[in-house]
Amino acid sequence: MLLRHTPDKVVERTALTINPAKTCQPVGAMYAALGVSKCLPHSHGSQGCCAYHRSALTRHYKEPVMATTSSFTEGASVFGGQANILEAITNIFALYDPEVVAVHTTCLSEVIGDDLSQIINKAVAEGKIPAGKRVVYASTPSFKGSHVTGYSNMVTSLVQNFSENSGKKISQVNIIPSFVEPSDMAEIKHIASEMGVKFVMFPDTTGILNGPMDGKFRMYPKGGATIASIKSAGDSIKTIALGRTGAMAAAKLLDTKCKVPCEILDLPVGVGGTDEYVDLLRKTYGAAVPESLLLERGQLVDVMTDMNQYVSGKRVSLVGDPDTLVGVARFCAENDMKVLHVVSGTAPGPKFERRIRELCGESVVVKTGAQADMFYFHQLLKGERPDLILGNTYCKYIARDMDIPLIRIGFPIYDRVGHSYFPITGYRGGLRLLEKVLDTFMDRQDRDAAEESFELVM
């Protein structure tokens, strides 16, 4: 009911966010850490912070998310959290035996100024970290950035701490995906594998947050990028970063630190984006494009051609994470849909807006940053009503209030399943996304059809 009081007139705000279209950095950092084999994320802050981060991921993936915390109390908040994390490191290795502890900071530890580098060095000097084990950290204050920023910072930390240049090149390609679903990571790997490309992909949450129910508890599910593979990334022939906001920083650091050249691509959603990814793999590795991928591409193009009349000219509004939005906007454009609005709580910079306008035309409304929230998104929809919303679970209130169909993409999705098992990337992911769009439009057409127009065949 409260949504019906959202005014149509947009008033620019500089110091107020209403229902943000993002969540905090540590959530993304925790997700990235889970994509490393036998890695335990550690939240350097209060128990409540860690509980929220774990809860957000658990509700999205319907999987248990393991993480530890420094458990700040009033004393740690005043005098610093060094004693807490030193004790935590001792207990973690004694009780849970991870290969890596990936520490991310929180608002509290950032505000009081804990020096994680000094603290970790002290833990090493005091023998609290067993031989062959590692503790790494990323700075992820929640009062700036978003979960995508936190993801990027943790992936960059993995490069900083593990990747090495031995001076001898390996015939392999690094693939760094942005904050995407385990299903999307699996699809990105599937394409490279079908082409016979040797690759290192990190992080990799495939099988960790979409694993099977086999009746066995595993503290560290099978899967994830190994430390050895991340180390070897410094000797690869090229790095492909899939998404400018979530993956570019790590790829550029690999270039600077280990002299591995990088290329930044859009997230491969739909035909055009996937074609670019496939073509870059082909050129970089000298690999042929197999019949299996040509078949997948042909099936997607076939459905695009057969069903274009049902999507052509439809108006859509998008809200979510920058890299996902670029990929989905490109998908909408190549299916002749008109993108009206693109809103992201993350602030990726001016290149994002330019890229969206390249894909969707100058008329599209693009807004990013703290004031690009769900309240603002709702106002945009009241001003120019779309036929479809593409966004996360929080869009359901707006969709219900305005009676606009919603397809859930991005993070978080709390009220549906399937996103962690079925991709939107690659040709197969594009086919699934197009099927969902077509089903949504056709369901609406059936619902609203007059009795004499309610046909068996569309």
- In this structure, what token pair is assigned to residue 452? 């004499």
Instruction: Give 204's contacts (C-beta < 8 A, 6+ positions apart).
Output: 35, 185, 189, 223, 224, 225
Q: Are 143 and 106 in contact (CB under 8 A)?
A: no
Instruction: Give 401's contacts (C-beta < 8 A, 6+ positions apart).
Output: 3, 4, 378
Bond preceding residue 203 cis, omega within 30 of 0: yes
Q: Are 322 and 146 in contact (CB under 8 A)?
A: no
From the candidates 107, 269, 332, 395, give the one annotated as an active-site residue. 107
Instruction: Give 18's contacts (C-beta < 8 A, 6+ positions apart).
Output: 373, 374, 375, 376
In the DSSP assignment, the letter for residue 5 is: G
What 3-state DSSP class applies to 40? strand
Catalytic residue status for 107: yes
Bin 116: left if φ > 0, else alpha if -120 < ψ < 50, else beta: alpha
Phi, psi of 161 (to 5 degrees): -90, -25
Q: Cα dihedral angle (173, 174, 175, 176), rounded to 10 degrees? A: -170
Q: Are 136 and 203 in contact (CB under 8 A)?
A: no
What 3-state DSSP class applies to 229? helix
Within 10 angstroms of residue 116's Cβ, the number of other Cβ atoms is 21
- In this structure, what token pair is assigned to residue 12? 């620019």
Residues tagged active-site: 107, 111
